[in-house]
Structure 1
Amino acid sequence: MLNLPLVTMLFIGVNLDFFVILLFLLQKYRFKETLIGYEVGMLLIFTMSAIIGQLIQTITPTWAIGFLGLIPIYMGIKGENDNEESAQNKTKKGIIAVLLMYLVSCGADNIAVYVPVLATLSFPSLLFTLVYFVILTFISLTLAYFFGQLKIIKIIFKKWGAPLSRIIYILIGLFVIWDTGLLEHVLNWF
């Protein structure tokens, strides 16, 4: 039998830190772009955890996952120049940016937490949990959107949003590199 409070706490626990990042992403990208990127990221992480999570952890050393931390660092350093981009290109770029940010900031941790719980579920419970997570993803994004509409939040993001998001991207990348042991592994080579 599915333990709904457990899977709810599982989702909230692993996505709580991403809620803050959503505030920044929603200031930069449209709701639809952010929703698609977030949902696809969540579905990818869920699927990897449910089907091949153990295999990925066995084959790929944890430290190698740290190289993914270079993606948000690059995004933070590069910044964005949206002046001459088409609307369609901006939409694709927004979806990909949100997807990559979710995978990099939540991927390894979510897989590590999801695998033990999802491995114990029957197939029908697994499918129900997947649908439930899709709904929870939409709810969390909607809450972030409305929270981001508060006047004080809008003022802060208007004045400091771009530099703060660049700093957060860089810090996320550095955290992934540190948390996976990549830095220690590379230093041991010398």
Structure 2
Amino acid sequence: MHYGILAITFLSVNLDFFFMLVFLLKKYRLSQVIWGYFLGNMILLTASFFIGRTLTLFLPEWLLGVLGILPIWLAFHDDDDEQADRSGRSPVLNVLVTYLAVCAGCNLSIFLPVLVGESMAHFLMTLVFIGVLTVLVVIIIKQVATLPVVQRVVTAHGERLMKICYVLIGCYVFWDSGLISHLLALW
């Protein structure tokens, strides 16, 4: 697994949630937000990995490269997720449920094709890598969320940058799965 692709995938698929982290960090303690976000990421990565493993039992990896269309589709699809009322729950559970409600579909669609065909050892390294990124991102967001320049850039260009990343991830999945080389070999 290429760690640069993992980092770009993680950052782009979670970009919209970074805005929510700003609000969650104002409402809950740093450790509570980290735990909820961390658990959400681990749940979605594990689901993506095992769904992908199941698919590889029935289909060749190059054919699973077609899943690369999912991130590209997401780039051109408006996300209208609304937050549900989460009162009465623990702060960690509130963050976890918020993350799953907002990001489950996107994360599964993006990480499933990226993790298809990975070995268990690589997947475990991926969990550690994304786990570390999760903690770092929350700490960094806590520090920079108050900077006016950051708020202006993200407001002005965040949506566009996220869509570009999704398209690039989809193209990477097409290439990495062998789909493109398989299709070219047919000609």
Alignment-derived partner of residue 49 in structure 2 = 50
Alignment-derived partner of residue 9 in structure 1 = 8
1:154-183 deviation digits (Å, cap 9, x = unpaired): xxxxxxxxxxxxxxxxxxxxxxxxxxxxxx
Which region of structure 1 is more displaced relative to structure 2, 116-125 or 135-144? 116-125
- TM-score w.r.t. structure 1 length? 0.59
Cα pair distance change 1:52/1:137, threshold 3 Å: same
Superposed, 1:61-76 pairs within 5 Å as: 72-75=83-86
Superposed, 1:99-178 pairs within 5 Å as: 99-148=96-145, 150=146
Identity of aligned residues (%): 30
SS of residue in 2 equivalent to 1:73? coil
1:23-62 deviation digits (Å, cap 9, x = unpaired): 000000000110110000111011111113687xxxxxxx
Residues in 2 aligned to 1:151 and 1:104: alpha-carbon distance in whole angstroms? 28
Q: Which runs of 4+ in 1 moved over 6 A?
A: none
Cα pair distance change 1:103/1:111, threshold 3 Å: same
For 2:51, the aligned partner's letter is: I
**Count of residues paired in the alignment:** 125
Alignment-derived partner of residue 94 in structure 1 = 91
Superposition deviation, residue 147 in structure 1 = 1.8
1:80-119 deviation digits (Å, cap 9, x = unpaired): 5xxxxxxxx8xx6211110001001111110011111111
Residues in 1 aligned to 2:120 and 2:49: alpha-carbon distance in whole angstroms? 10
Residues in 1 aligned to 2:124 and 2:53: alpha-carbon distance in whole angstroms? 19
For 1:95, the aligned partner's letter is: V
Alignment-derived partner of residue 30 in structure 1 = 29
Cα pair distance change 1:24/1:53, threshold 3 Å: farther
1:60-86 deviation digits (Å, cap 9, x = unpaired): xxxxxxxxx67x2334xxxx5xxxxxx
Gaps of 5+ in 2: 55-80, 150-187
- TM-score w.r.t. structure 2 length? 0.60
For 1:27, the aligned partner's letter is: K
Please tell me whether the aligned partners of residues 52 and 115 of structure 2 are also in contact (alpha carbons under 8 angstroms): no
Alignment-derived partner of residue 185 in structure 2 = none
Gaps of 5+ in 1: 56-68, 81-88, 154-190
